[in-house]
Structure 1
Amino acid sequence: MSNVKATTSATFEQDVLQADGPVLVDFWAAWCGPCRMVAPVLDEIQSENPDKITIVKLNVDENPDLAMKYQITSIPAMKVFQNGEVASTIIGAKPKFALEQDLAPYLA
């Protein structure tokens, strides 16, 4: 069972923009192999840091409006939101240690 919940255009504002603390949005699609490779890594990071960061998944095929708004041109793409703003962007599938390095400011 995944520790990462899904968000949609309908719930994005509440799940991400109004959230307390940093939220990593994983922009993905079912047909994307690298997206499926990074998903269990994000699950692990979420389960190890539940009080530091929230991780949500956004299917770009089902929510093209948000993919366009946040200029997602390749996936997997991850954006960290803080106080309703994009604080950082991570492009591409990476191993866990590399993602943890990218997320270090939020996991401290």
Structure 2
Amino acid sequence: MAQSTNTPPVDSNTAALGRRERMLLAAVAALLALGLFLLRGGLSPAAPLEKLARQSLEPAVALSNGRPSLIEFYADWCEACQAMAPAMERVEGEHHEQLDVVLLNVDNPRWQPEVDRYDVNGIPQLEFFDASGAPIGRAVGARNQGELEALSAALISGSPLPAMAGVAETSVLPKAETTAMAGPRSHS
């Protein structure tokens, strides 16, 4: 007694069609993977923010090596920081021997003491220091290439920072005298 099976016979056209579909699907997947790879930068160097941050000096070194410094507080997710990154990279490249460009990521707990010290309350925030490491100014908000060049030129030449919106010079308060002062509730 022969048993019958309910599976239809396989012809060569059906098998070939399945093989072609699989190959087409694999080719489409490969093209999508390649496209995603290229959109994310491919084998090119890291994005400008990441590249600058990696090559930055430690803030203490930059502020003590006899060159003026520009410290940028940024975040990877900050669109203004990302937009400004190519201009910062050009400034760093053109003035590497004259100016230290330091990038500190506000999301990295390592830089929390600096975030607190410089009262970072918006990003990008730029802090400017003269060649002796003394703070001379601050800028909050994105800067274009021309503005970064003007600010860098002022730092390098030791000139006052150019007047532009969002840029302020740092003033140094005189040290308080150490004589004891009467408190508000003192009646002596």
Relative to the length of structure 1, the TM-score reads: 0.83
1:51 paired residue number:
97
CA distance in 2, matches of 1:42, 1:53: 12
**Which structure is larger by alpha-carbon Rg, 1 or 2?**
2
Q: Which has the higher contact order (CA 8 A, sep 6+)?
A: 1
1:70 alignment partner AA: Y
1:12 paired residue number:
59
Q: Deviations over 1:57-77 (max 9, x none)?
A: 111111222111111100001
2:127 alignment partner AA: K
Q: How many pairs align?
A: 104
CA distance in 1, matches of 2:113, 2:86: 26
Query: How far did 1:103 drift?
Result: 2.5
Query: How far did 1:18 drift?
Result: 1.3
Relative to the length of structure 2, the TM-score reads: 0.50
2:68 alignment partner AA: P
Q: Does structure 2 conserve the Cα–Cα contact (< 8 Å) formed by 1:90 and 1:102? A: no
Q: Which runs of 5+ in 2 are unaligned?
A: 1-44, 158-188
Is 1:70 paired with 2:83?
no
1:97 paired residue number:
146
Q: Which runs of 5+ in 1 are unaligned?
A: none
- Please provide the CA RMSD for this pair: 1.8
Q: Percent identity?
A: 25
Higher share in strand: 1
Q: 1:33 aligns with which of 71, 79, 90?
A: 79
CA distance in 2, matches of 1:29, 1:6: 15
